């Protein structure tokens, strides 16, 4: 398959997954803001920090309020990772390789873009709320369902899945940082776990990765910070855990041509081994913030290796 086609399919799925995950980040941020409406602007800046958009937001010269942050990350035309720009990029990448998509896949993406344009005219950016975020997540779910049901299991399908799981792993680590971003402790103590509102904050983080029911099924106990980190990092059955994403990415790479893929397969295997055989106790001893920072750096290396192996013109 041509590297150009592989690149469009890979980035099509990454941008769609990114739009969904941006919606998840903003949804959980709004939920946390409602728990503490009197909090200062530092909390509002959390999604800006974890998506590394400080410079872009500063350029707008807007006050650091929740409404401004949500409007910027959802609708801004100049921010490349805003939901608006991610959905447009998904559609443009899909349009470039329509011949590699099923008609149902293309229709789903095109309908999403048309519906999004209608919403952009109807919704006040400063009043963006849960209903819009749920719609973004629903459209992403629909595309994955259509892809699973209609796509032939060949290289286009595998590159689409690879982009999904790489983007998802990166964003799960960032969503986990919604709770443990700036100034959060690396270790958990009883006073932190018992703090007022802690249950609701942790519940919001779990809901952001559709893991609240999975947590209850797994632990059947009160929600605590240590177990939230454990399930989101190491659970092999949770579709948005880091472990699950790399199990899937490793399997996908095995289905792709091996001639030029030694480096990405090696990096994926190394990261997968850490997740397969690591433990939450080791992570907390090392420091959760430090662990997540290292993971995100490894994700950059892995993503670059995939780009070099399959998508650079030779």
Segment among 101-105, 170-174, 258-262 with least mean pLDDT: 258-262
pLDDT at 67: 87
Residues 6+ apart with CB under 8 A from 300: none
**Position 42 confidence tier, pLDDT thresholds 50, 70, 90:** low
The pTM (predicted TM-score) of the whole model is 0.90
Specify the long-range contacts of residues 94-101, CB closer than 8 Å, at least 24 apart: 94/8, 94/12, 96/8, 97/5, 97/8, 97/9, 97/12, 97/156, 100/5, 100/8, 100/9, 100/156, 101/151, 101/156
Is the pLDDT at 182 greater than 70? The verdict is no
**Position 302 confidence tier, pLDDT thresholds 50, 70, 90:** very high
As a whole number, mean pLDDT of residues 202-212 equals 87
SS3 state of residue 287? coil
* CB distance 128 to 71 below 8 Å: yes
pLDDT at 298: 96
As a whole number, mean pLDDT of residues 206-220 equals 90
Is the pLDDT at 38 greater than 60? The verdict is no
Question: Alpha-carbon distance 239 to 243, whole Å?
Answer: 9
The neighbour count for residue 147, using CB atoms within 10 Å, is 20
* CB distance 246 to 275 below 8 Å: yes
First to last CA, the chain: 13
Instruction: Tell the residue number behind the tokens 């509102």, with chain if given.
Output: 197
Is the pLDDT at 193 greater than 60? The verdict is no
Is the pLDDT at 139 greater than 80? The verdict is yes
Is the pLDDT at 314 greater than 90? The verdict is no
pLDDT digits (tens, 9 = 90+) for 114-132: 999 999 888 888 778 889 9
Segment among 2-11, 51-60, 187-196 with least mean pLDDT: 187-196
Rounded to the nearest integer, the mean pLDDT of the chain is 88
pLDDT at 36: 62
pLDDT digits (tens, 9 = 90+) for 254-298: 999 887 778 999 999 999 999 999 999 999 999 998 999 999 999
pLDDT at 41: 54
* CB distance 207 to 28 below 8 Å: yes
């Amino acid at each position: 398959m041509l590297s150009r086609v592989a690149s469009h399919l890979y980035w099509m799925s990454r941008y769609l997954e990114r739009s969904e995950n941006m919606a998840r980040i903003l949804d959980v941020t709004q939920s946390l803001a409602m728990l503490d409406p009197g909090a200062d602007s530092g909390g509002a800046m959390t999604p800006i920090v974890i998506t590394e958009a400080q410079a872009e937001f500063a350029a707008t010269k807007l006050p650091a309020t929740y409404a401004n942050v949500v409007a910027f990350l959802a609708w801004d035309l100049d921010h490349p990772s805003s939901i608006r720009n991610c959905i447009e990029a998904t559609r443009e990448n899909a349009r470039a390789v329509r011949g590699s998509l099923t008609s149902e896949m293309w229709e789903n993406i095109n309908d999403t873009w048309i519906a999004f344009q209608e919403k952009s005219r109807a919704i006040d950016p400063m009043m963006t709320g849960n209903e819009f975020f749920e719609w973004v997540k629903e459209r992403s779910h629909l595309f994955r369902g259509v892809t699973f049901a209609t796509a032939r299991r060949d290289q286009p399908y595998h590159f689409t899945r690879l982009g999904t799981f790489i983007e998802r792993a990166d964003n799960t680590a960032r969503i986990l940082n919604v709770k443990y971003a700036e100034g959060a402790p690396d270790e958990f103590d009883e006073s932190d776990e018992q703090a007022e509102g802690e249950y609701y904050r942790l519940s919001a983080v779990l809901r952001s990765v559709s893991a609240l029911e999975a947590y209850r099924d797994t632990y059947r106990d009160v929600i605590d910070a240590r177990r939230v980190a454990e399930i989101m990092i190491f659970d092999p059955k949770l579709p948005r855990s880091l472990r699950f994403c790399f199990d899937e990415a490793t399997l996908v790479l095995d289905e792709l041509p091996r001639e030029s893929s030694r480096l990405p397969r090696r990096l994926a295997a190394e990261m997968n081994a850490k997740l397969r055989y690591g433990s939450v106790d080791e992570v907390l001893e090392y420091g959760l913030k430090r662990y997540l920072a290292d993971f995100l750096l490894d994700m950059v290396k892995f993503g670059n290796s995939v780009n070099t192996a399959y998508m650079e013109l030779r």
